[in-house]
Structure 1
Amino acid sequence: MVDQSVKLLWSRSLHLRSSSETMAAASDALVVAERHSRLTRLDPVSGESLWEQRVEDCWGTTVVAGEKCLYLSQAGVLHCFDLHNGEQMWSTPGPRLLHYVSVSGSVILLGGWRGYHPLKRVSLADGEPLPPVSTALPHGSQLAWPLPLRLAPERDLATHAALIAIADKPELLLLDSQSGTVVAEWPLPAPVVFPDTGIAYDVSDDGRIIFLSGRRTIMAFHPVDGVKVLWQHERDLLPHPPMLRGGALWLVEDTGITFVDLDRGAVTEVAHLPRGAVSAAAPISGGALFAYPDGSLVSVDRVGHVNASLRIPARIDRLLPGGSDLVHAIGTGHLVTLNLVTPGREDSGADHERRVEV
């Protein structure tokens, strides 16, 4: 059992309930939309505002991509800002309700959310549209948020690719981001299950991609090994991505949290707390952090013990690791940054884009 505490580092009012996907973080950067029409970069440690830019609304999607910050407004305008000084580099109008933004090499992938718009490609350099994605993706399909993958150069598939899952089809597709063509596919026992935000995957510390196939089957994917069943659960799971670190697997049910020690095949039912279903979850150093609708936060370590708890006076809709033992929490008009105090820090291996080097 690891001694760990969760402390509130700072909080910030957003002056309106922004979409949880308007927050993006990197190891030294935090960007969020607030006050109806502002995109703001904050210092992750102090919460101090470093720059701000006017945007159409605060219900869009923010992504940090290297030295760039992308913001796709709900109105359909895709903005690119210099991450360091906030200077606008380009802006491209498009259809509303695209929602997803995935950066794969020099290509931005947009669309697929709820099937409103097909997946489209845009140049990261200037925002200009690129030739459309291959018709191998059914028109109007509801997709999981495309997961960017950077494959080793010796692979025959693609250097920059994206993992694609369709809501009603039991298969995984690998899209070559540069050409827009599907270059590989793998059958699944059942379609990938994901929440309305579309985030379906967790990337483990060994590079495997973990996801739900149906409501009870946890799958692991690697481009070299393909797809394999990792665990078969006895009860239905909520559409939160399962989290795997080492041989430790954390699952979310409607009545609580289940911890699985895959090496021993041991299952631990974490005490079901009377707070309702988990509203957000994220891997952290030494374990996983779970949020509940009443603002409660609970960390569970790699042997299934509850190590720390904290309650903030706001609902939490999303948890996002930010590096240096920081976790950012957004929901109900507030942004909160938490400090995880753990002896012997480990890297959580998670970021917004969920990139993996394989």
Structure 2
Amino acid sequence: MIGKTLWERQLHQRGSASALAVTEDRVVLHERHTRLVCLDRHDCSVRWDVPIGTWPRAVVVAGDRCLVLPQDTDQLFCLDLTAGSVVWRAGLPQYSGHVVATAETVVVGGWRGYTPMSAFDLKDGRPLWRTRRRMATVLPLPWDGGVLLGDGSEAWLIDPRDGRELDRWRLPESLVETDGHPAFTMIGPDRCLVPCGLRSVVSIRLSSGLVERFFRHDADLSSSAAQFTGGVVWLRERGAGYLAIDPEDGSVLWNVDVRQPLVGEVVRDSEGFVVAGAGGLLFRLRSDGHVLERSSSVTRVAALRDLGAGEMLMVTKGTLRMIAIDPYRRGE
């Protein structure tokens, strides 16, 4: 077996990786349609359990705060991560989406271009700024004290405290629309990858302002961000497996094709990596992409979450599992 289940939590709804946040000692997740629950990461004991609304568009942990944006309330809730109590709440326009947080600021809005963007003080919820018009952006990314946004063929960096533009990049193709999922991938303090068009990924640099072609494929890529795990950039092919890419020169290191669609994320282990098929199979990969082992998880898998230290979370059709990855035993 690739791993053993340390604990399992019934969600009583479809599992979603976007309604989940993890810290060193806590797991915060949405379950039972209207509840937000904080679990002890190590033994699954409940720290708190509060009503919060249906199907949140975002669950984000920032320091000792937990930010939640339910779909049915048009309000952003800021909870105390220790107790689950509401610290502050802010009313938002209908259909608001996207929530990102820096050390002091929460930036909200821009999902599908439905609403303006606005910012609040993380500590007390005080409004800081709001755009005059509706605007569109992919899911923003905190970067070097700023917040990176993107739409169409442009990406730009803003100051989260006042909304002022700090930098802007012109992209060779339009950004891939990833809806509420990540679009940008940091692979260094000064470098970020951006999916453009159906088959390309470009690199933008903060210090120099350079935009460079990182990778061009001969088939369509999935509408999702690259993943940077174990020193390797991972790109998902549409309806297929993963490509492992050298982060320095954009060359293909290997192709992971197990004859079934794979779900995100790629997880590290002592031998290399672990990936999951949507049908429930787990695959252990050697550091060169060769499949060493496969095992069934019994149920359909929606996503994996790499926690490091030989542990991962598995989101299934209706449960959340904490799994310890067993060391690979050659010859068994």
The normalised TM-score by structure 2 is 0.86
| 1:28/1:322 contact within 8 Å kept | no
| 1:65/1:103 contact within 8 Å kept | yes
Q: State the superposition RMSD in angstroms.
A: 2.7
User: Are residue 270 (structure 1) and residue 256 (structure 2) matched?
Assistant: yes
Pick the structure with more strand per residue.
Answer: 2
Deviation at 1:230, TM superposition (A): 2.0
Q: Equivalent residue for 2:70?
A: 73
Deviation at 1:147, TM superposition (A): 0.1
Task: Please give the secondary structure, in 2, of the residue aligned with 1:183.
Answer: strand
Q: Equivalent residue for 1:243?
A: 227
Are the structure 2 counterparts of residues 307 and 172 from structure 1 closer, same or farther at C-alpha, using a change threshold of 3 Å? farther
- Matches of 1:314 and 1:96 in 2, distance apart? 36
Are the structure 2 counterparts of residues 205 and 140 from structure 1 closer, same or farther at C-alpha, using a change threshold of 3 Å? closer
Deviation at 1:283, TM superposition (A): 4.9
Which ranges of 4 or more aligned residues in structure 1 deviate by more than 6 Å?
A: none
Please list every run of 5 or more consecutive structure 1 residues that lacks an aligned counterpart in the other structure: 152-159, 344-358
| 2:175/2:197 contact within 8 Å kept | yes
Deviation at 1:63, TM superposition (A): 0.8
User: Are residue 147 (structure 1) and residue 141 (structure 2) matched?
Assistant: yes
Task: Please give the secondary structure, in 2, of the residue aligned with 1:21.
Answer: helix
| 1:280/1:292 contact within 8 Å kept | no
Decide which of 7, 10, 18 is 1:10's aligned counterpart: 7
Report the more deviating stretch, 26-35 or 119-128.
Answer: 119-128
Decide which of 297, 318, 321 is 2:306's aligned counterpart: 321
Are the structure 2 counterparts of residues 89 and 244 from structure 1 closer, same or farther at C-alpha, using a change threshold of 3 Å? closer
Q: Equivalent residue for 1:162?
A: 147
Equivalent residue pairs, number? 323
Q: Deviations over 1:62-97 (max 9, x none)?
A: 111011111111122222121122222122232343
Q: Equivalent residue for 1:203?
A: 186
Deviation at 1:163, TM superposition (A): 0.7
- Matches of 2:103 and 2:247 in 1, distance apart? 34
Deviation at 1:293, TM superposition (A): 2.3
Are the structure 2 counterparts of residues 313 and 184 from structure 1 closer, same or farther at C-alpha, using a change threshold of 3 Å? same
- Matches of 2:243 and 2:266 in 1, distance apart? 14
- Matches of 2:11 and 2:230 in 1, distance apart? 37
- Matches of 2:177 and 2:267 in 1, distance apart? 17
Q: Equivalent residue for 1:154?
A: none
- Matches of 1:43 and 1:279 in 2, distance apart? 26
Amino acid at match of 1:112: G
| 1:194/1:241 contact within 8 Å kept | no
Q: Equivalent residue for 1:84?
A: 82
Report the more deviating stretch, 315-324 or 59-68.
Answer: 315-324
- Matches of 2:49 and 2:107 in 1, distance apart? 25
| 1:113/1:198 contact within 8 Å kept | no
Please list every run of 5 or more consecutive structure 2 residues that lacks an aligned counterpart in the other structure: none
Q: Matched residues, percent identical?
A: 28
Decide which of 88, 95, 98 is 2:96's aligned counterpart: 98
Aligned ranges 1:162-311 → 2 under 5 Å: 162-166=147-151, 169-204=152-187, 208-226=191-209, 227-245=211-229, 248-253=232-237, 254-261=239-246, 265-273=251-259, 275=260, 277-284=261-268, 287-311=272-296
Task: Please give the secondary structure, in 1, of the residue aligned with 2:112.
Answer: helix
